[in-house]
Amino acid sequence: AMSQYFVAALNPPHLSAIVPWEGLLEPYRDIAYRGGILSRFVVMFAIMMQLTADRPWRSKNFMQLLLGHPYLDKLWTYGTGILDGRTGTPKIPDDVKAIEVPMFSVGNLNDPDLHLRGNVNAFAGASSREKKLLLYSGTHWGSAYQPWANRLVLRFFDHYLKNRPTGLEREPTVDVQVRTGPDTFTHVYGKDWPLEQTRWTRYYLDARQNALLPENPEEEASAEAVWREEPEVGSSHQVTFETPALEEDVTVAGPITAHFWVSTQGKDVDLTVELRDFDSQGRETRFAYVIAGSPDEPVTRGWLRVSRRALDPERSRPHQPWHLHSRSDWLTPGVPVEVDVEIWPTGMVFKAGHRIALTIHCGRYKRKGEAYFRVRPLPFLPAITLRNSLYQAYSPPAGETRIHTGGKFASWLELPVIPPDPAPVHRVTIRDGRFEPAEVRGEMGDRFEWTNAGSDYHSVTEASGLGLWDSQLVRGERSHNPETWWLKLPWAGTFLYRDMVYGFEGVVAAPPRIPARTAAGERITVSLGIEPPPKGVGFDVQLRKGDGEWMTVGEGLKEKETELDPLEAGAYAVRCRLRSMEEDVHTDWSPPATFDLKE
């Protein structure tokens, strides 16, 4: 996937679209030296490159290149063997802005170790006028081969390579599958990255009680990193700060920063910083990386070697620190310094009653392996599963390390909180054979949610022929990640929808809206939607007095509101539907909105 960025940056005339599915962008920052710390993955990769070369003993010494370039330099900018840009080789990551073709960047929220950062930064940096970002919840290798993933990719290419009508242009630019549990998720949508509705929220560290608080404590304090072993997590010298039990759900979607003060008795220390979620019983919510159901990963994490804390003032963003990695600024033993740690993006609903936790691992952090391999030692022996700690870092042991908070040592965790949706919610359960309930009535702008409680894939596809919405495949137990899909109903009408897998149907409906106060002899504004109808579609509007016949008072209207001529006193009802301007295709009439006019 990562090579797609640099080919697309050259803008070859034959290239129409790209789908980098889990593709890191910067080899240095994204895997080799995350936070300035050498990773095991890239060491293993260098060994494999050497062993699989045509002439291993005469090829480049990849290990020498890796270990000989611990700082960010031209090797990491242009690649091995090309130490300047005169050949026209794309510059990493700057030339990603030259990408102009349509791009669908897909990152995995369960992978806070390898590709996720690259997918997000490539999306944000590309100049493509037509680009989309999906951050999904699922396993690293397995998800890409599931039906829902195949359908998304084929649909994108159908749209841009074959010019087939897919409805992509009516769908949100950014889709973050925020996780609601170890395996379940719902969606947060937006037009940009970070999401435009984000409410940046700081939780201040308090070392007196190892707490995360809404305000910076006035009293200065420090907490020493102490050795701790967690069987399903790992072992390290660490400090954990927690919020009180949450009073309501907190939805987080976007990049994260931890800013704090640290001191050590040595001249340097490596930090691995993890965002975690604990329920009311103290059990951590963890996520599968390779094998479904395995408790491999926290919500997300970040890294920093403290001597590499210098920031790039030109590239650092308000909510994403960008480190130079061009020098080492050694620490004075016992003297606190402030650091900004980039924690990789995430999507998570921290539920009411849970606690948000920030764990700072200092020095060596030994975790269980996240990568799984099935091997058969000998032909006559059964296969065994091995766990490999590929994505962990090579860190020296830390001396006494302390985290400082409060007063002049103000330290905080900044989260991209998504405000709760105030709209009323109507919930539908998808079974393997029906929608429950089959008919739901609400109001324009209400949120309708469908949760797949079945085993198989299903869809929520508007079935009038207008193509007003399509959930694509809503994942069930079969995919290991049951999904809740939702939409805000933008128009009045009665909408038939269908599961395109099994064929069963359901209905959602909403009436138009009439002002609360109306009087005979006045013009009446009728709201037909919270947004205009789609291109090529219009509203038909009918009016009825008392028990009389319905009369058409508007056809093919393109605005979200219409006005009724002054009416005499009496009881009235108004209804509407959406209709294609080119074909005989329409929704059913909405439930009527009734009103009484008095003299």
Q: State pLDDT tens for residues 433-445.
A: 999 999 999 999 9
Task: Please give the Cα distance from 334 to 338 (Å, whole number).
Answer: 13
Q: Is 152 helix (H, G, I), strand (E, B) or coil?
A: helix
Q: State pLDDT tens for residues 277-325.
A: 999 999 999 999 888 888 889 999 999 999 999 999 999 998 999 999 9
Q: Is 515 within a domain?
A: no
The answer on 276 and 142 residing in a single domain is no
In this prediction, residues 139-152 reach a mean pLDDT of 92
Task: Please give the Cα distance from 392 to 171 (Å, whole number).
Answer: 37
Q: 156 is written with which tokens?
A: 């994108």
Identify which of 57, 63, 21, 61 has the alpha carbon closest to the alpha carbon of residue 42: 63
pLDDT above 60: residue 328? yes
Q: Is 519 within a domain?
A: no
Q: 508 is written with which tokens?
A: 């959602």
> What pLDDT score was predicted for residue 371?
67
Contact (Cβ atoms closer than 8 angstroms) between residue 354 and residue 245 = yes
Number of alpha carbons in the 13 Å side-chain half-sphere of residue 88: 4
Contact (Cβ atoms closer than 8 angstroms) between residue 596 and residue 562 = no
Task: Please give the Cα distance from 40 to 94 (Å, whole number).
Answer: 26
The answer on 376 and 260 residing in a single domain is yes
Strand partners, 542: 552, 575
Identify which of 259, 194, 246, 123 has the alpha carbon closest to the alpha carbon of residue 416: 194
The fraction of the chain above a pLDDT of 70, given in percent, is 96
Identify which of 358, 294, 243 has the alpha carbon closest to the alpha carbon of residue 110: 294
Q: State pLDDT tens for residues 392-425.
A: 888 988 889 999 999 999 999 999 999 999 999 9
Q: Scanning the structure block, which residue is given the tokens 């948000």? A: 356
Type of residue found at 342: E
pLDDT above 80: residue 389? no
Single out the residue in 368, 391, 418 at which a domain terminates.
418
Boundaries of domain holding 37: 2-190
Q: N- to C-terminal Cα distance for the chain?
A: 69
Q: What angle do CA 83, 87, 93 make, to 5 degrees?
A: 65
Contacts of 33 (CB under 8 A, 6+ apart): 39, 42, 70, 72, 325
Strand partners, 320: 317
Domain CATH number, residue 79: 3.40.50.1820
Contacts of 312 (CB under 8 A, 6+ apart): 322, 323, 324
pLDDT above 90: residue 564? yes
pLDDT above 80: residue 46? yes
Pairing of strands 221-224, 401-405: antiparallel
Contact (Cβ atoms closer than 8 angstroms) between residue 400 and residue 265 = yes
Single out the residue in 351, 384, 418 at which a domain terminates.
418
Q: Is 406 within a domain?
A: yes
Identify which of 259, 117, 197, 133 has the alpha carbon closest to the alpha carbon of residue 417: 197
Q: Is 91 within a domain?
A: yes
The answer on 357 and 245 residing in a single domain is yes
Q: Is 85 within a domain?
A: yes
Single out the residue in 388, 418, 448 at which a domain terminates.
418
> What pLDDT score was predicted for residue 83?
46
Identify which of 239, 242, 309, 321 has the alpha carbon closest to the alpha carbon of residue 273: 239
The answer on 225 and 162 residing in a single domain is no
Task: Please give the Cα distance from 103 to 11 (Å, whole number).
Answer: 12
The answer on 533 and 456 residing in a single domain is no
Q: State pLDDT tens for residues 172-193.
A: 999 999 999 999 999 999 999 9
Counting the structural domains of the chain, the total is 4
Task: Please give the Cα distance from 379 to 246 (Å, whole number).
Answer: 54
The answer on 167 and 222 residing in a single domain is no
Contact (Cβ atoms closer than 8 angstroms) between residue 268 and residue 407 = no
Q: Is 374 within a domain?
A: yes
Task: Please give the Cα distance from 45 to 60 (Å, whole number).
Answer: 14
Q: 418 is written with which tokens?
A: 């998504």
Domain CATH number, residue 440: 2.60.40.420
Q: Is 517 within a domain?
A: no
The answer on 210 and 173 residing in a single domain is no
Task: Please give the Cα distance from 539 to 561 (Å, whole number).
Answer: 10
Task: Please give the Cα distance from 428 to 408 (Å, whole number).
Answer: 51
The answer on 327 and 222 residing in a single domain is yes
Q: How far is CA 473 from the centre of its chain?
A: 18
Task: Please give the Cα distance from 555 to 578 (Å, whole number).
Answer: 10
Domain CATH number, residue 339: 2.60.120.260
Contacts of 595 (CB under 8 A, 6+ apart): 514, 518, 524, 571, 572, 573, 574
Between 170 and 248, the more confident residue is: 248
Q: State pLDDT tens for residues 439-493.
A: 999 999 999 999 999 999 999 999 999 999 999 999 999 999 999 999 999 999 9
Task: Please give the Cα distance from 585 to 462 (Å, whole number).
Answer: 12
Identify which of 374, 370, 394, 395 has the alpha carbon closest to the alpha carbon of residue 383: 374
Q: State pLDDT tens for residues 237-282.
A: 999 999 999 999 999 999 999 999 999 999 999 999 999 999 999 9
Q: Strand 593-597's sheet: what is its strand order?
A: 551-557, 537-545, 570-580, 593-597
Identify which of 287, 268, 269, 285 has the alpha carbon closest to the alpha carbon of residue 277: 285
Strand partners, 278: 284, 355
Q: 484 is written with which tokens?
A: 């809740």
Mean pLDDT of the chain: 94
Domain CATH number, residue 576: 2.60.40.10
The dihedral sign for the CA sequence 165, 486, 433, 148: positive
Q: State pLDDT tens for residues 122-143.
A: 999 999 999 999 999 999 888 9
Q: Is 299 helix (H, G, I), strand (E, B) or coil?
A: coil
pLDDT above 80: residue 210? yes
Contact (Cβ atoms closer than 8 angstroms) between residue 1 and residue 21 = yes
Q: 570 is written with which tokens?
A: 């009496």
Q: 337 is written with which tokens?
A: 């310094």
Strand partners, 157: none
pLDDT above 70: residue 372? no
The answer on 63 and 145 residing in a single domain is yes
Strand partners, 594: 573
Return the H-helix or E-strand segment holding 147: helix 147-161
Q: Strand 188-190's sheet: what is its strand order?
A: 103-108, 131-136, 174-176, 188-190
Q: Is 518 within a domain?
A: no
Q: State pLDDT tens for residues 218-231.
A: 999 999 999 999 88
The answer on 101 and 32 residing in a single domain is yes
The answer on 349 and 258 residing in a single domain is yes
> What pLDDT score was predicted for residue 124?
97
Burial (CB count <10 Å: 0-12, 13-18, 19+), residue 544: middle
Return the H-helix or E-strand segment holding 6: helix 2-9
Task: Please give the Cα distance from 4 to 542 (Å, whole number).
Answer: 53
The answer on 180 and 67 residing in a single domain is yes
